[in-house]
Structure 1
Amino acid sequence: MDTRSEDARLPYFEDHSPGSGTLPARAWYAASDAARLSLDGTWQFRLADTAEGTGTGFVADDADLAGWSEVAVPGHWVLQGHGAPAYTNVQYPFPVDPPRVPTENPTGDHRRVFDLPPDWPADGETVLRFEGVESCARVWLNGRELGTFMGSRLPHEFAVGHLLRPAGNVLAVRVHQWSAGSYLEDQDMWWLPGIFREVGLHHRPEHAPVDFFVHAGYDHTTGRGTLRVDSAPQGRVTVPELGLDLETGEEASVPVEPWTAETPRLYDGVLATAGERIPLRIGFRTVGVRDGVFRANGRRVLFRGVNRHEFHPESGRAVDVETMRQDILLMKRHNINAVRTSHYPPHPAFLDLCDELGLWVIDECDLETHGFSFFPEWRGNPVTDERFTPALVDRARRMVERDKNHPSVVIWSLGNESGGGPGLGAMARWIRDRDPSRPLHYENDSTYPDSDFYSRMYASHAEVELIGRREEEPLADPDLDAHRRSLPFLLCEYAHAMGNGPGGLSEYQRLFETYERLQGGFVWEWIDHGLPKRTPDGRTYFAYGGDFGEEVHDGNFVCDGLLFPDRTPSPGLLEYKKVIEPVRITGDAGRGTVTVRNGHDFADLSHLAFEWVFETDGERLGGGRLDVPPLAPGESADIALPPAPATGGGAEGESVWTVRAVLAGDTAWAAAGHVVAWGQIAASGHRRREAPSPAAAVAGRRADGTITLGPAEFDAATGALTRLGGLVPVSAPRLDVWRAPTDNDLGASWHEEARYGMRWRELGLHRVRHRLDGVSLEGGTLTVRTRVAPAATDAGLRTEYRWSATGDELWLNVAVTAEGDWPCPLPRLGLRLGLPAAFGRAAWFGGGPGEAYPDTRAAAALGRWELPVDALQTPYVRPQENGARADVRWAELRTADGSGLRMTAGSAPFWFTARRWTSEQLDAASHTTDLVPGDAVWVNLDHGQQGIGSQSCGPGPLPQYLLAAGAAEFSLSFREVAPESSAG
């Protein structure tokens, strides 16, 4: 078959080429003295089911627009009442037959009528610029067809000066949801067609720059920056602060302060030609790979990064500048220093903000063909099809030309998850030829022919350590193996932040900080892509894949970020901030010192102030400033702590020093006093409390079917607690091993052997039965013996509850022994009890203020905390286990009048969880609106919890965080608290 002749008969939206009629790519800049006219706003709109179903009569001046509606541009029509969004991760949502697409191809006709301003210049040229259209556009102006284009996240321009008229200009744009370009845009995100970035007219005066390239290097050995600006036609470049006045193409070196993500120093300049003056913001820096390490300005860089999709819950990928700024401020405030623009170039204004506020950027091309991985050897993959190569190179060209003048962009990335092939090589060759000043990144080809980095996704801790030691499994070809071993290593995606998690961050960070070759990683990802929907009764929730009737979808896999869709930080982001903090604070209370280590790559500590607080049992007894020298990067110092304040109550309490590093003054991204890092140093440890000896315990009494033990009453037949003073529990304490599986518990399909949530359910841990084996009262001890087990297995937990009491305090000691075959670890091991719904106020002394689990507890600080029960919940888009507080010494639940129940740890602290629904109800919920408060507050007091891991895409919990079924013993006490009592 002659495919060339067949291809020639295909419509433009099924053409392999990037389009026709557009101008060459050029650098983006926010403004100049040349005129611009925004065409954003309300456009007339019509949606058709097929690509050619409505004809092209709408391009005419006198077109019949009966039945048309309106949409906002920038915007996506599926988020404005026309059709519906669809989510897939890997699978294409249409038959895979490149470059063909279905006849059922939603097509949006857009029309805007506009007048030119009276003073619009008549000289030179005017270009019509589209910043982003998904996925293919055909454009007319005043009835004349301008051309077509693909490449959704990239700009395209047309010369239109000869077509413009003073008034009544008709701009008509036909946008197809599916095109040949869709095969190159299989990124993990919602499919959202439309004109989603700005549209405008840009006047190009005579003698204005066609394009320009700012070269601003820095020599760290001399402290001098070298500037050259290439431009056609020629002009002059002035940088007043540096005393520079150069002809374009001329080079000069002067002493400068370099640009880094920690110290984003920019110099204001102007590029002036005979036709246009363009403001410049110049950052001097030099980047590259040397001796197997990526360096900036001569120093190794450690990326504390995130992958960022562009997303807003109301407007999709049409993200306004204020939201972009909000994102970067949140990143900076949480110690994030780098962004990978997954998996396409961001709006260019985002890069301006990265220049200004300071982030390292891996700028990634608009390319992913992941859906071809389902076929043997990626059959049909466009990067192996030479007919797609011009489109691939065009995408690389448009990214580089648009973004080349941003100092924040330090690495170009060819794209994501597109296998390997000559098309990628063509992209790499073009980029290297155009811009040799930046290294290249690509992950998805294991021999790395086109990458300056050894890049992986979701590698385990063990594998990352081997790579750090350059002891990874060798490639079969010695030359290829030697090449890969010479490369610095990046985890371009790791720590999958889906639902509760990610776990294991601290262990990854220790590896990054230990091995020079390991240059950090980028958490997947920044934000949950939940779209708001309402229940029939008007309650709002965030929807995910399948909630819009998609035939093929990937469920809530689109909600895997460190922010909730409304940009509220998740516990995962707070954990990440703590793990990657650029100052390490440790200490030794015995020696009376605190050790401060500067982990910045470039900045000393002069921008920080250090504060100390001393607390006993959560009560602040003193605080003040700590004098820390302005340590250079990598330096550390031991600083003497002041004398510990007097406790006032003897030495009985548990005391801790907390030392915080805070901003000494206001910055562009946070105010003075913002906490950058902190550490805690125990001055005295947790006091073990033992249950009373039989001799000290209050003797029990049996009467009328009731056993009375101190302040408590029990059912004599079952041994269940029925009353504690005036408190009547909804459900007596009993052993609990089930939690509503997290996304990471459920795991990814390719991790079948360790999907613990699935194995727990297969074993039946969500439906265990409690068999009563005996109730006995001997003196001051009530013993209840049970066996807790699921059906259809011999696996069980022999459980013995031993109750005793002294005065107003009720003690419980629990001993557990595993029996039978346990094929998997436990989700949790502890007690569950139910209290009346009025017990809605929580206080505790332990880890907080946020949730924590065994491998996500770095951010939990020891202290005394108070929150409403409702605020203890973490509203993950798909409900799942959440809200545990770690290392709890005591916890209280109280009613509005202050009466309540105190639960105190015995020999070891416990995990504390309180919520208004059971774990089973939490497990059954699909969305937050499925959770309806009941008549009880359900409390878990856990001796152990399974870790979290990141197995929704990455590795599961490390072995030390698995909760094996075995022998365990723990104790707690319970005491009713009166309304006038205070926590303490």
Structure 2
Amino acid sequence: MTDPLTTFSPGEGRRPPRAAFRSDAPRLILDGDWRFRLSPSTAEAPTGIERPDFDDSGWDELPVPAHWQLHGHGAPIYTNIAYPFPLDPPYVPDDNPTGDYRRAFDLPEEWGDLGAVLRFDGVDSCFTAWLNGQELGWSTGSRLPTEFDVTGIARPGRNVLAVRVHQWSPGSYLEDQDMWWLSGIFRSVTLLARALGALDDYFVHADFDHTTGRGTLRVDTSAPARLTVEELGLRDVPAQGPYDLAAVEPWTAETPRLYAGELRAGGETTPLRIGFRSVAVEDGPLKVNGRPVLLRGVNRHEFHPDHGRVLDEETMREDIVLMKRHNINAVRTSHYPPDSRFLELCDELGLWVMLECDLETHGFSLTGDWRGNPSDDPRWREAYLDRMQRTVERDKNHPSVVMWSLGNEAGDGCNLQAMAEWAKRRDPDRPLHYEHDWDSRYTDVYSRMYTSHEELDAIGRRAEEPLADPVADARRCGMPAVVVEYAHAMGNGPGGLAEYQRLFEKYERCMGGFVWEWIDHGLRQDGHFAYGGDFGEELHDGNFVCDGLVFPDRTPSPGLAEYKKVVEPVRITMAPDGIEIANLHDFRGLSHLVLTWCVEHEGEETASGDLPLPAIPAGSPPALLPYPTADTTGPLTVSARLAKDEPWAPAGHEVAWAQRIPEPIPARRPTRGTRPDPGLFDTRTGRLTRLGDLPVTGPRLDLWRAPIDNDRLGHDPVADTWRRIGLDRLHHRLLGMDTEDDTLVVRTRVAPAATDLGMYATYRWQDTGEGLRLTAEIEPDGDWQDISLPRLGLRMSLPAWIDHVTWYGLGPGEAYPDSRLAARLGRYSSTVDALQTPYVFPQENGSRADVHWAELTGPQGGLRLTGAPTCHLTARRWTSEDLDTARHTDELRPADAVHVNIDLAQHGLGSAACGPRVLPNHRLTARSAAFAVTLSETADG
């Protein structure tokens, strides 16, 4: 056979691609512990491993499926774009780690008269297989299945399977996705018995006519087969049909109706799950079952912090359940087909799926002009077509798959067009996507990435930058538009989600988008999650691999809570004349929901009840309900909740909510405490040092925050400007301390070294009888030239025995100017430690917004602060400088104080690490400002 390391061919000896399915035929799952040996290069790999009598007793054991780098053999590598080897296609370096696997297994006698197929569901990146000493063939295409016919080779009794896997291969040039480079047999290996006349493949065509409610069913089969679908009255009929069905319930992501059926052929029975639906680009928008759909989506890599891309069914189901509970309705399988079981779960639980081919050549962009890119090199044509064919054939029977994607960031060229032409011939009933087809010559939707809000508005109006060819431009303007990656969810963020969603909903052309991305790819190590550079890589892209809405252990981030709120399928609006209920589902009414309400005073519920929820079909105008109570002295919260259990959430799960906040908020009721003694001040610095018996340090002006990923990364990192000016190293100078009537006035100038820029900060202290009221007045000094500030507020420190925080304000989670819709007004309690959000890369986090009052307490008492009317509060056991210095969470060690920020404002979050900067209305600039807070000592705890 051809040397797999020196050819453009995708493989040899393989069976044609076909659908993934299970039947009642015998099968032997070969997962488990295999013998394994890793050689530093192919030249150093042992010879003769294919012989059944080869002595592998000295080899290690390695589980299959697994990545060898995560079991002590070699190390992971993370790059976003750059290839970790020279661009010299199709060749790879001589130092090519090579893993050899061996597995002995027994077959029962009844397999003797049956054919057999050996199936590998995923091997990274290239492998050759031998069974009982006979070479079967080799294959590339890591995230795609490979099958070999082993009829007559597999035999009853003892069998020995040997597999040689190369870390790098020509196929690696087509797999430059933004993720860890991890190798090995990472999906299941199965031996399948195949009887004469049994099905080799089938293609379910289940169409739905939305104008009549009728369905049409036919099943194309590789051999004559009989079809039974009891619910449809089809019993042992020819599979090919077609059958015109008077009435069927359509499949949608909101109502994933599946009909159970089966195919019988050659003595074998194959179960089916049939979903009737139609997909079309029609009159502009993307339509399913005749209705436009709005994608509230995420990009999803397969990832587990301990196992890499090895996922069990429980983890796949967990992903989908979390998505459904957070109002996500769509997934793009970035950037390869996932384990086929994931798609079965999408069929069952309901998600729209953009199924993407295992293709990316992004590293060729670094040549400057995509020089040498395989996408336009005819020598790679077979490999490109092979990947598309294996993708479509495996997953063609899933109703959840409503769109094929050719791949990601592979430039443009003839091979991509060939993929598109083949896919349209094979499956004309699904639209095609590919983002780099910017002229939309061979795809069906206009796709963009990291589009600014301004550009998205232009696209929605069909006023984007025109193409040179008027005919092509008119064709593209008539297409639906999708933002296939947006709102880069790296670290603390993304900001601006609500503004994106308003544009998606405003323009019919916009079919929504997919947030980048679902999960942080942090690999678990002692005390923290690792990212690029933690394994000594020659090239790496740092923590750019951690950019998800859930943390590596699948704990939801604040960004996911915000996304859930922004994309609620029911919008509840507290209008002046009543409660407006809008149904934003694409298909489903609201009969599965109930409305509840409650009124709270200072976080304590004083009244509650249910509201009648009118029938509001999808697409109907909103309904207006009267307010359930005349009480406007406390916040009224209205929630839409599941009326009964769903497969993805229990009854009572909250889908949507809204609050009516009274203006002004009533004053806080008295709480326990003692009237403080006057504060003690340091006459040298003007700083408060004691409040009653409570030692304190500060407060004083603070302009710095530990940069978030969106501050420090991207094309124009704003944190670079902040550091250049010196906002991370402020000096304070006392200008004077005076008494004016009953007020202590402390005047200071705050400025960094090496610049004439500064801030005048005047602190006015008054003993009000309920505490010390501080009014801080800020005045910029110098030409700040509209420079943004990280924060504008006060910093102080309290004794380390402070361990608990209770506040009345927004919560329970953190909130920032452009990511705060998920926070609701209430009374909350937390430990200081639990206030922290453990972003994989330490950065600013944990701010609670619109705090009316808060108590920071411990066993010896504590501090009470009251806003005028509100402030933003952060409390942590380390400083912003500690956060700024740390690179992993376990580097953050509790100090001998609790550090508190009382902020007037912070700069927004944006998504500039890979996207637009903070919107103008969420930027914090140097300006005159004044705000007040009252501080008092609480009684001993």
Q: Which TM bucket (shorter chain)?
A: over 0.9
Q: Which residue of the other structure, out of 765, 771, 775, is the alignment partner of 1:813? A: 775
Shift of 1:710: 5.4
Corresponding residue of 1:694:
none
**In 1, distance between residues paired with 2:459 and 2:740?**
61
Corresponding residue of 1:543:
530
Q: Which residue of the other structure, out of 523, 526, 548, is the alignment partner of 2:515? A: 523
Contact 1:709 1:804 in 2 (8 A): no
1:912 aligns with 2:873: yes
The 1:267–1:475 alpha-carbon spacing in structure 2 relative to 1, beyond 3 Å, is same
Corresponding residue of 2:746:
784
Aligned positions of 1:547-946 closer than 5 A: 547-588=534-575, 591=577, 593-635=578-620, 636-645=622-631, 655-686=634-665, 711-729=678-696, 731-748=697-714, 751-752=715-716, 755-823=717-785, 824-896=787-859, 899-906=861-868, 908-946=869-907
1:393 aligns with 2:385: yes
SS of 1:57 mapped into structure 2? coil
**In 1, distance between residues paired with 2:656 and 2:65?**
39
The 1:804–1:709 alpha-carbon spacing in structure 2 relative to 1, beyond 3 Å, is farther
Shift of 1:465: 0.5
SS of 1:561 mapped into structure 2? coil
1:481 aligns with 2:473: yes
Specify every segment of 5 or more residues in structure 1 that has no aligned partner in the other structure, as ranges: 1-7, 535-539, 646-650, 690-707
Corresponding residue of 1:368:
360
Superposed CA offset, 1:162-189 (max 9, x none): 1122222110000000000000000000
**In 1, distance between residues paired with 2:681 and 2:198?**
89
Shift of 1:461: 0.3
**In 1, distance between residues paired with 2:282 and 2:788?**
46
**In 1, distance between residues paired with 2:391 and 2:859?**
59
Corresponding residue of 2:75:
84
SS of 1:149 mapped into structure 2? strand
Q: Which residue of the other structure, out of 358, 378, 390, is the alignment partner of 2:370? A: 378
SS of 1:291 mapped into structure 2? coil
Q: Which residue of the other structure, out of 417, 424, 441, is the alignment partner of 1:449? A: 441
- Cα RMSD of the aligned pairs, angstroms, is 1.4
**In 2, distance between residues paired with 1:764 and 1:634?**
53
SS of 1:52 mapped into structure 2? helix
Contact 1:710 1:806 in 2 (8 A): no
Shift of 1:713: 1.9
**In 2, distance between residues paired with 1:918 and 1:599?**
44
Letter in 2 for 1:640: P
Contact 2:111 2:155 in 1 (8 A): no
**In 1, distance between residues paired with 2:892 and 2:95?**
38
Contact 1:839 1:894 in 2 (8 A): yes
Contact 1:710 1:805 in 2 (8 A): no
**In 2, distance between residues paired with 1:145 and 1:13?**
16
SS of 1:398 mapped into structure 2? helix
Corresponding residue of 2:144:
154
**In 2, distance between residues paired with 1:128 and 1:258?**
36
Corresponding residue of 1:964:
925
**In 1, distance between residues paired with 2:628 and 2:78?**
57
Contact 2:685 2:733 in 1 (8 A): no
Superposed CA offset, 1:229-272 (max 9, x none): 01021111111011023312211122111000000000000111
Shift of 1:513: 0.7
Q: Which moved more, 1:624-633 or 1:669-678?
A: 624-633
In the TM superposition, structure 1's runs of 4+ consecutive aligned residues that sit over 6 Å from their partners are none
Shift of 1:483: 1.8
**In 2, distance between residues paired with 1:177 and 1:357?**
36
Corresponding residue of 1:4:
none
Corresponding residue of 2:51:
60
Contact 1:710 1:810 in 2 (8 A): no
**In 1, distance between residues paired with 2:554 and 2:368?**
40
Shift of 1:793: 1.4
Letter in 2 for 1:550: E
Superposed CA offset, 1:654-682 (max 9, x none): 52110000000001000000000000112
**In 2, distance between residues paired with 1:527 and 1:54?**
36
SS of 2:913 mapped into structure 1? coil
Shift of 1:719: 2.0
**In 1, distance between residues paired with 2:565 and 2:884?**
29
Specify every segment of 5 or more residues in structure 2 that has no aligned partner in the other structure, as ranges: 669-674
Aligned positions of 1:419-434 closer than 5 A: 419-434=411-426
Corresponding residue of 2:936:
975
Contact 2:111 2:156 in 1 (8 A): no
Letter in 2 for 1:809: G
**In 1, distance between residues paired with 2:770 and 2:372?**
75
Corresponding residue of 1:32:
23
Q: Which residue of the other structure, out of 32, 49, 52, is the alignment partner of 2:40? A: 49
SS of 1:874 mapped into structure 2? coil
Corresponding residue of 2:394:
402
**In 1, distance between residues paired with 2:11 and 2:895?**
59
SS of 1:839 mapped into structure 2? coil
**In 2, distance between residues paired with 1:638 and 1:684?**
22
Letter in 1 for 2:781: E
Aligned positions of 1:129-528 closer than 5 A: 129-245=119-235, 246-254=237-245, 255-528=247-520
**In 2, distance between residues paired with 1:943 and 1:461?**
27
SS of 1:802 mapped into structure 2? strand
SS of 1:566 mapped into structure 2? coil
**In 1, distance between residues paired with 2:630 and 2:90?**
73
Superposed CA offset, 1:67-112 (max 9, x none): 3101000000000110101100000000111111000000000000
Shift of 1:709: 9.6
Contact 2:676 2:936 in 1 (8 A): no
1:117 aligns with 2:85: no
Q: Which residue of the other structure, out of 116, 128, 145, is the alignment partner of 1:126? A: 116
Shift of 1:407: 0.1
Corresponding residue of 1:108:
99
Superposed CA offset, 1:194-250 (max 9, x none): 000000101111111121000001001001111000102111111101102331221
Q: Which residue of the other structure, out of 61, 65, 70, is the alignment partner of 1:70? A: 61
Shift of 1:644: 3.3
Shift of 1:688: 8.8
SS of 1:557 mapped into structure 2? helix
**In 1, distance between residues paired with 2:676 and 2:746?**
14
Q: Which moved more, 1:212-221 or 1:791-800?
A: 791-800
Shift of 1:778: 2.4
Contact 2:850 2:870 in 1 (8 A): yes
Q: Tell me the TM-score normalised to structure 1 length.
A: 0.93
Shift of 1:14: 2.6
Contact 1:711 1:808 in 2 (8 A): no
Percent identical across equivalent pairs?
Answer: 60
**In 2, distance between residues paired with 1:513 and 1:312?**
34
SS of 1:426 mapped into structure 2? helix
Shift of 1:133: 0.2
Contact 1:786 1:798 in 2 (8 A): yes
Corresponding residue of 1:537:
none
